[in-house]
Structures are given as structure tokens and as C-alpha cells.
Structure 1
Amino acid sequence: MTTRKYKDLVEQRTRQTLEEWSKLPSVEEKDIHRFLHNLKGTAGTVGLKEIEELAEQTQPLFGDDSRKEWLPVEWGRYLYPLLALLNDNASSALKPSGLPDGNKTEDARPQYEILIIDDDVQLVAYLKESLEKNPYYVSIALSAERGLKIFYESKPDMILLDIMLPDQSGIEVLNQIIGKAKKERIPIIMISAEHSKEVQMHAYSLGVMDFIKKPVDIDIFLTLIQNRFELKREWQESIIVDELTGAFNRKHFNQTMKQLLSDYRRTNRVFSLVLIDLDHFKAINDTYGHLAGDEVLHSFTEFVQASIRLEDVFCRYGGEEFALFLPNTEASSAKLVVERIQRRFSAKEFRTKKQAFNVTFSSGITEVKAGEEQHAVKLVEEADKALYASKHGGRNQTTIYTEQLLATKFDSVLNVIIIDDDALVRRIVTSEFADWKPSNMAKVNISSYASGPEFLQSDWYSSEEKYVVLLDGIMPELDGIEVLERIRGNYPQENIVVIMLTGRNNQADIVHALQMGADDYVIKPFDMNELMLRIERLAFRFLF
């Protein structure tokens, strides 16, 4: 693993910070503390041992919540010695060397998703690159607010959480998520330079699985992550009930599908599969809170379980999506059952402290068919196609799969927009996406713009459509950060996913972009297959 570029990044950031501070009349003490805190962890991780040691010795002199103003002549006595160490460590001229291009992978799709909540962007980038060389997909949150949003919306497989965050402490974040994480069996690992015995004991008492001290030994770190995911896999294989809702889980779904297909091949006993999706569930979470959303999921499971036969099998398929197996039942009869549940459930009233609301669901049904080769993937695809027809037919309805649905064109449109002043990049991306046909999308529009003003002045947005914006970080006239600010400030976030495209000399753009709401970043030059996988993952996590 190349660490020189990370050393250059740390050195460049340190020089830049000290240079900027030297121009200010004073600097708040808490800002100096945070700077040294981050420097200690990152410098040690990338092998700048002397800088790590000096930062560690100096940090206790500055309080983490003090607003005392330090003059340049005062703080300089403690921080300017870092510059001498930087000169000693420099093996080459300092060049902006960007963030890691950890986007290339041999696997078609990562196995596990890891959420890192930490505001030290150099360390986060280093960990991201290291992890994504393995079968992991990494989401980044530089603040507690962003981390909580990603946690509730994407349900990561693991969380790496720093104690010191800009908006609230990691312990406060831990208190908010630990209950749900335990129910969902999501391991949480604290990773921090703040590792007193008291802090570690408190974190363990709250339920974290591990506590990793900064600086991080990357080889031990990667081995630990692999070990914890192996343990998680063993957990998942040992249970068949989803603890949050009480429905059966995907493991039992797969077992039931295998059993019913085997039975059908022996006896020709028909069965139906129903895929169910709660309507506008993201809006429920956003409007009434995630605790209310969890209550809806749990109540829905109880409602369905009380409405079906003992031989029927109800599973949580993922997120707000469920599956129902109805043995010895044709699709037409299954439709009557599901529609009865629909009518009754839509009349159920949920209450918060301030108001009441109702919830509906859409569903799609398919049945195992005589004379055809039956397999699990085909049945799920058919039920999913029928479910999609229900959602685009107005929701709160049930559709039976037919061959005619294959030819049906729904009005769902995904727009992929490339904003980059490099004509070659625009041409490559446009060409690659021209034949991209993601599932359940009637149409994908590809468009490109050579500058931010050209894009912003165009009639690009429709509230009825969805967007993935690939945005270059550095452009003439209006840079990518300014374009991102306009997008996030003037348009609804739920309709638009933004992926920053960055070269190796715009580290600051990445920091700002993640803070301002970019959903991901990709390093130039990038692998097109990986880019398409990232777009598909983000689009269907946040848009559909």
C-alpha cells in the first residue's frame, strides 16, 4: 500500500492550516485542540511518527471546548516546530496528491457496506481506499448529522465511529443508534485518538464491539474487520427471525423458496409469492422520525401475521420491503387475501405526540407455473415487476404478474447528468451510459454540460423525475462546490444524488463536498464499471 501520497496530504494540510491561521488575528483554543487531535491520529497512521508524537505532547495544552483566543505569537511557539519536522520528513516536493482512488475492484459488487463517521478526511480516505480493495463498500460521513442520516437510510453492515465530531460527540451518536444497531446486528467499532480507560469503558458499556486507538495499524485493522464480518455472518446464519419486526428474515425466505420449489417439482402443488413495499416509507421517517418508522414496520408485521394462515410464511425482504409465501394458493386467490389486508391496514391509525397518520402498501404477485422452468430468481423478478406496476399505477394496490407486463413502459425516468469541463470525460461517460438499462426503469436520459453556469441556466429539473449528477470538483467560472451548493439549496434532496468527480489535486473540494451533501466521490481516472455500480447503488438506495 502506498503511504507517500498520504504523508504528502498530511504535510500539505498542516502547512496550509498554519499558513491560514498565521493570517488571522487569533485562533480559538478548541480549534487548535481539534487540529492536533486529527493530526495525531492521521500522522501516526501514515507513518509520520515524529509529527504524531509532537501532536500528542502538545494537544493536552489546549482544551477541546475552550473559546479562548490565541494570538499567532502564542500558538506559534507550540505549532511552528511541526514545520521543521515536515521539512525533515519531506522526501519530495509537496504536491497535492488527492484522495485515494479506491474504486477499482475485481469483484462485481462489494459484499458488505461500512459507514465511517469521522471528520478527519485524510484518515477516512486512507481507510476507504484500504477497505475498498477488499469486498467492502464504504460510505463517509464527516459529521454526526450526516452519519445518522446514512445509518437510518442505508442500514450499513458495520459502523466505524470517531468520538470527536464537529457537531456532537461520537458517544451521543452511539446513544442514538445503539438500540437499533443491536436489533439489526450491526457491529459498531469506535476509532479514536481519545482512548483513556474511562472513555473505553464507557463505550464498551454502551455496546460497542471494539475500540481501536489512533494511530491505526492498517494490517491489524483490516484483519479485525474481516474477523468481525465473519462473526456477523455466523450470527446471521444462526437466526431466522428479523429482530426489529418479528417477521422471518432473508435466510428463512431463501429456505422457504427452496423448499416450496422442491415440493412443486415433486407434487406440482402451486404456490404464490407476494412482494410488498410500504408506500412513501422514507417520507414517514423524515416526517415523524425513525422511531415512528420502526413502529410502523413492527405493527405491519403483526398485522399481516394475524391475517394469514399458519402455513403462510411472511418475511422481511429488506428495509420496508416484505415477502409473503402462500402455499397451495393461485395468484388470483392470493390477490384477494392481499387486498383484504390492504384495505384493513390502510384504515389503521398511527399516532405520534402531535398528529396521526395512515400507511398504505403496494404489492406484486406471481405464482409458480406449470410447463416452465421454475427458479427463485425468475419468481422474484416477476413479483418485483408486478410490484413496480402497482407503485406506478398509483400505489396502495396489488398487481398479478403477466407476460404483458414485460412490454409495459412505466413513466419512471432516471436522468444521469455529467458536468465537467473536460470534453473527453463527458464523451466517455455519455458513451458508456448510452446502453445502460437498470432494472425497473422505463427510461434513462444522459446529458452533459461543459460548465456549471451552462448546467444551472438550463431547464434541467422536473419534480417528476430522478437525477444522478456527476459533478467535476474544479471547473472554470463556477467550481463544483458552488454548483453543489446551488443544487442542495434550491432543489429537493430526495430527488437528486450527487457524485463528485475529482482529480488528484483538489483535496479541499472533497472535504467541502462531503460536508455540503455530496453522496459519494470518485477519483479520476476512474473505472467505468465501478462508477456504474456506485451510481446504481446510490440511486436505488436514495431515490427509489
Structure 2
Amino acid sequence: MTTRKYKELVEQRTRQTLQTWSAQEFVSEKDIYRFLHNLKGTAGTVGLIKVEKLVDSTLLYFSEDIHRCWPEEEWGDYLYPLLELFGDDMDAHDGLLGSRSQESGHIHGMPIQQEILIIDDDVELVAFLRESLEKQSYYVSIALSAERGLKIFYEGKPDLILLDVLLPDQSGIDVLKQIIGKAKKERIPIIIVSGEHAKDIQMYAYSLGVMDYMPKPLDIDLFLVLIKNRFDLKREWQESIIVDELTGAFNRRYFNQTMKQLVSDFRRTGRIFSLALMDLDFFKLVNDTYGHLIGDEVLQTFSEVVRHSIRVEDTFCRFGGEEFALFMPNTDAGSALLVVDRIQQQLAARTFTAKKEEFQVTFSGGITEVREVVNEPDRLIGEADQALYVSKNTGRNRTTLYTDKLDTGKAESLLNVIVVDDDALIRRIVTHHFASWDPAGIDSVKVSSYASGPLFLESDWYAQGGKYIILLDGIMPELDGLEVLERIRSNYPEVNILVIMLTGRNNQRDIIHALQMGADDYVVKPFHLPELLTRIERLAHRFLF
């Protein structure tokens, strides 16, 4: 999409907003201020220089904190002159994004390494930033509200966050206060991107711990260089740190180093070791019921129990999320089982308190022992994981030793992909590509399609416990995509159902509504199928597996 296209979208939104307001008796000053605030940042970023300058001067007459209602004959004097400037600005600097895409070296379908979360309710600016960043091979998640941003942050753990100060449901500064502690521990840089330029707000944001404060409108060239710089710095952090700061356990990088050293030592000297994988039971339920701060407390307490129960020569690592690993050198599997059983008893005896309730937490474990016929790291991890699964599948709060005859009873992981689109060609192309899709960690994919919303909703598509990705066309006869989305979110549990809207380039209002109503992502038609597959696989593994 060229810069001109984004300018046209900004003009379209401006005209639609003023037309809507003209039918109202009054418009609140807060609404006018927020509209101008967003328009200033977006207009300057996409090259509407004259519009941005007039908005900047007009903002001086309005405040978010004043409770006043303006009739059209008053607000119109300030806002209608904006419409005359769009034509003057429309051709300036056109083609910026097109030239950038040639310079970026981006190849369709390349794996995306870093994930950026944008929390901002200005959909035109967000779309512009998303396209610019994804041309640099970043993966971009979008949240148009604080609530959605917090959900993605806690469930997806992005690598970097771009946060606006003004959001529709709460202040960006309040969001910052909620996430800054965890973001620091997880080494997630936060950059404020806002039209609020007040020095005291910038100083306060920096005092809370943001890495950068970038004023709108953005210089996109400087912005992209800054993002790369921050990711380079983060990579240096990650390479120099071996301890998980939240729990005090060693991290995954140190786990890999330890595994390599112990396997090498076994091959050279024959000294055995055992590996235990331990996974907290129903940990997601703890987070959902009591909040992520209590979840962090549980993780810290578990780590404390383990570290006080093991020897100096043992190595305790956070393997990922709520899963941990314990290396026990010079220890056979039977002796390792005694150690893990003791840890289970100690953790189960701990009592946690939240929301005036008391609860206990347990974990399940799986143990394997290195031996002559199996001394490769991946096979050892796989054996411990199989034994762990048996513990989960047979009641939890227990530990299983791996044996060659172990029956995991593990059910096949099935992902249901459903295409709802009235375009027969789109359905045929998409289902054909997904039929041969082989995503990592998923045993099989079942693809189905429907020509309309009613056909889909009236089918027996849903089964309790199933995992679904629904590709939903925004505009269809009989029942449009937004109505179908509303019924999905109203009648079915949100967990394990991802909805991705397929939208035309001009349907920016539909994009806003869809994200606000619970869509997890959107893809603009026409789309490139390898990129669509990459995006869907990333979403599937973040939310479903």
C-alpha cells in the first residue's frame, strides 16, 4: 500500500467522523480533543504536512479534561477547514513505502524473528506502522485498547511494545504501570509513541522505566532504525544473561549449555545423570482466576521450594512458561524420583492466598536417565516429556519414570481451519494450500469451508475442547463477517478459537470493529498465501498450543 493510500484513508476517516458529528446535536470536547490528537500523529507520519500543522494549532482550543459540549456551528469553524487541505497534501512524498520495500530486502514467507505489540487506537497509523515494520521482517500484533493490549502482553509475551498514552478505555500510563515490572524482568523494551509532548509526562514515563519516548508524527526512517537498534541491544542482553530473573532459576540458554556439558561428560567418562521435567498443574487457571501477579508468585514459590531441595551440583532451569527442568548428575532415575517426590510434597503443602481465598498448587513430572543407547539431548528431552505427559494424563500431581514400554496414550493434536467466504475462488485456493500445510507441533490439520455465514453457523462445526482457526470474510451476503464474529464470541468460549478477518483495503472501519469485538488479527485482500500461513502458524502456537 502506497503512502497516498494511507493519506486517502485518513481523509476518509476525517470526513466520516465530521459527517457523523454533523447529525448530532452536540459533540463533547473530549471527543474532539481525542480526534484531533490522533489525526495530528497520523497525518504527520503519512505526510499530510498541512493537515498536521492546522491540527496542531487547532488543538490549543480543546482539552481532554474540560466537560463541555460543542454544537456544529461552533466546532465546525475549527474542523471543517481541515477538509480543504487534504487535496494540497495528497501528492506530497507519494511512494515512500514502495521504495522502502525494495530497500528492505524482505522476502515473502521468511520466518519472522521478533514480535512487536502496538497498543494504539488510531487504526490508520497502526496499519501504516504494521506494514512498515513487517517489511523489515518483524511480526506485529495490534491492540486498539488497553484491555486487549494487556491480554496479548500476558499471553503472548512480545519482544517489544509500542504504547500510546491516550487509549479509549484507560490511560497508557496506567497500562505502563501494570506491565513495566514484568517487562523489565522479561527484558521487553517499551517505547511510548504519542502525540502528548508535555515534558512532565515524558519525564514520568522515563521514571517508570520506558526505554524511549517518540513524539507523533513519526519520522518513519528514524523510527525503523531505532527499532533495529533496540532489538540489537536486547539481543546483547539476552546473550549475557543466564538467570531467569522472575524465578531465580537458570534460563533456557543455560539449560542447553548444561545438557551439552553433561552429555559430553557421559560420553567421555560414563558418568550418568538424570533429567526431570516439571510442569505446574492448571497454571493457566491460576492466572485466569487470580491474575498474573499471583501467577508470578506461584512460579517464584515453586522455584524457591526446588532450589532449597536440591544439591549444589544439581542444575535447576526454567524450561519455558510454567515448565521447569532439573539436572541431577551422578544420579540414576530411581534416586531422582525420590528427590522429585519430596519436592512435590513440599509444594503441595504450601498455601497461597488471593481474593480472600486459599488454594494449593501441584506439579507433574517426567524423568529419564542418560544411557549408552540414548545420549542425544533431543531424545532425552523427548523421553522426559513423554513421561511428563503420562503424569498429566493419569491424574497430575505425580511423577513418571520413562521406560521403552511407556504408553503415553497421547491424543493426536488436531487443528481445525475453517474458511468462511462467499468467494468460491478464495475458498478453493485457501483450502488447497491448507490441505498440505504441515505446521510444527501439530499432528494434523482439518480444513473446511462455507460459502456464507448462515451455512457456517448452522453447521456442527464446534466440538468441546477442539482447536479452531476461522478465516472470516468481512463482507458477505445474508450475514456479514462482523455479525458472524459477534455470534461466535457470544455463543462459544473464546479459548481455543482464533478468528482472523479477511478484509478489503478500504474497510478500515470494519477492521476497528472486528478487533474491538474480539477478532485476533486481520489480513488484507489480496494476500500472499505463504505470509498468511506464517502469520496463522505464529498465532496458533501462541494461543492454542
Q: State the secondary structure of the residue aligned to 1:138.
A: strand
Give the conservation status (yes or no) of the 8 Å contact 2:389–2:410.
Answer: no
Aligned twin of 1:55: 55
In the alignment, structure 2 segments of 5+ residues that lack a partner are: 93-100
Q: State the secondary structure of the residue aligned to 1:467.
A: strand
Amino acid at match of 1:464: G
Give the Å deviation of 1:512. 0.9
Q: Give distance in 2, aligned partners of 1:303 and 1:160.
A: 37
Q: Give distance in 2, aligned partners of 1:424 and 1:385.
A: 43
Per-residue CA deviation, residues 110-131 of structure 1 (Å, 9 max, x unaligned), is 2221111111111111111111
Q: Give distance in 2, aligned partners of 1:196 and 1:532.
A: 43
Provide the aligned length of Structure 1 versus Structure 2. Answer: 535
Q: Give distance in 2, aligned partners of 1:401 and 1:3.
A: 59
Matches within 5 A, 1:392-541: 392-401=393-402, 409-410=410-411, 412-541=413-542
Q: State the secondary structure of the residue aligned to 1:536.
A: helix
- CA distance change for structure 1 residues 395 and 495 in 2, over 3 Å: closer, same or farther? farther
State the percentage of identical aligned residues: 68
Amino acid at match of 1:5: K
Matches within 5 A, 1:75-86: 75-86=75-86
After TM superposition, the structure 1 stretch with the greater mean CA deviation from structure 2, 212-221 or 506-515, is 506-515
Amino acid at match of 1:471: L
- CA distance change for structure 1 residues 342 and 407 in 2, over 3 Å: closer, same or farther? closer
Amino acid at match of 1:66: I
Amino acid at match of 1:83: L
Give the Å deviation of 1:528. 2.9
Q: Give distance in 2, aligned partners of 1:427 and 1:398.
A: 47
Amino acid at match of 1:208: V
After TM superposition, the structure 1 stretch with the greater mean CA deviation from structure 2, 362-371 or 299-308, is 362-371
1:289 maps to which of 291, 299, 302 = 291
Aligned twin of 1:97: none
Aligned twin of 1:98: none
Q: Give distance in 1, aligned partners of 2:155 and 2:228.
A: 24
Q: Give distance in 2, aligned partners of 1:390 and 1:87.
A: 67
Give the Å deviation of 1:105. 4.6
Q: Give distance in 1, aligned partners of 2:366 and 2:456.
A: 39
- CA distance change for structure 1 residues 58 and 227 in 2, over 3 Å: closer, same or farther? same
Per-residue CA deviation, residues 334-380 of structure 1 (Å, 9 max, x unaligned), is 344334433442343211241011222233334434245x5444443
Give the Å deviation of 1:413. 3.5
In the alignment, structure 1 segments of 5+ residues that lack a partner are: 93-100
- CA distance change for structure 1 residues 272 and 436 in 2, over 3 Å: closer, same or farther? farther
Give the conservation status (yes or no) of the 8 Å contact 2:108–2:530.
Answer: no
Give the conservation status (yes or no) of the 8 Å contact 2:119–2:162.
Answer: yes
After TM superposition, the structure 1 stretch with the greater mean CA deviation from structure 2, 362-371 or 244-253, is 362-371
Aligned twin of 2:98: none
- CA distance change for structure 1 residues 264 and 79 in 2, over 3 Å: closer, same or farther? same
Aligned twin of 1:141: 143
Q: TM-score, normalized by length of structure 1? A: 0.92
Aligned twin of 2:252: 250
1:113 maps to which of 84, 99, 115 = 115
Aligned twin of 2:201: 199
Give the conservation status (yes or no) of the 8 Å contact 1:392–1:411.
Answer: no
Q: State the secondary structure of the residue aligned to 1:493.
A: coil
Amino acid at match of 1:463: Q
Amino acid at match of 1:27: V
Aligned twin of 2:347: 345
Per-residue CA deviation, residues 314-349 of structure 1 (Å, 9 max, x unaligned), is 111222222222223344443443344334423432
Q: Give distance in 2, aligned partners of 1:65 and 1:302.
A: 47
Give the conservation status (yes or no) of the 8 Å contact 2:388–2:399.
Answer: yes
Q: TM-score, normalized by length of structure 2? A: 0.92
- CA distance change for structure 1 residues 272 and 315 in 2, over 3 Å: closer, same or farther? same
Q: Give distance in 2, aligned partners of 1:62 and 1:12.
A: 23
Give the conservation status (yes or no) of the 8 Å contact 1:410–1:442.
Answer: no
Q: Give distance in 1, aligned partners of 2:530 and 2:380.
A: 27
Give the Å deviation of 1:503. 2.3
Q: Give distance in 1, aligned partners of 2:109 and 2:15.
A: 39
Per-residue CA deviation, residues 276-327 of structure 1 (Å, 9 max, x unaligned), is 3222222111101111101001001111112222222111122222222222
Q: Give distance in 2, aligned partners of 1:238 and 1:172.
A: 31
Give the conservation status (yes or no) of the 8 Å contact 2:387–2:408.
Answer: no
Matches within 5 A, 1:215-226: 215-226=217-228
User: Bigger relative contact order, structure 1 or 2, given CA contacts below 8 A and separation 6+?
Assistant: 1
Per-residue CA deviation, residues 219-272 of structure 1 (Å, 9 max, x unaligned), is 111111111111111112222111111111122112212212221232233333
After TM superposition, the structure 1 stretch with the greater mean CA deviation from structure 2, 47-56 or 404-413, is 404-413
- CA distance change for structure 1 residues 473 and 365 in 2, over 3 Å: closer, same or farther? farther
- CA distance change for structure 1 residues 378 and 215 in 2, over 3 Å: closer, same or farther? farther
Aligned twin of 1:238: 240
